[in-house]
Amino acid sequence: MIRLFCLFFIPVCLSFAEDRSHHIEALLNQRILKNSGEITCVDTQRYFFILKDEKLNETRFFAPLSKLQVIKTGDIVQVSYKKTIDGKLRAIDIKAAKEKKKGKKRKSNQDS
Q: Tell me the pLDDT tens digit for each residue of 62-100.
A: 999 999 999 999 999 999 999 988 999 999 999 998 766
pLDDT the model gives residue 98: 79
Residue ranges and CATH numbers for the domains of the chain are 33-96 (2.40.50.140)
pLDDT the model gives residue 20: 61
pLDDT at residue 6 is higher than 80: no
Q: Which residues make Cβ contacts (< 8 Å) with residue 40, sequence separation at least 6?
A: 50, 51, 52, 58, 73
pLDDT the model gives residue 31: 86
pLDDT the model gives residue 58: 97
User: How far apart are the two ends of the chain, measured CA to CA in Å?
Assistant: 98
pLDDT the model gives residue 97: 84
Q: How confident is the model at residue 102 (pLDDT cuts 50, 70, 90)?
A: low
Helix (H, G, I), strand (E, B) or coil at 12: helix
C-alpha separations of 41 from 72, 73, 79, 103 in Å: 8, 6, 14, 32
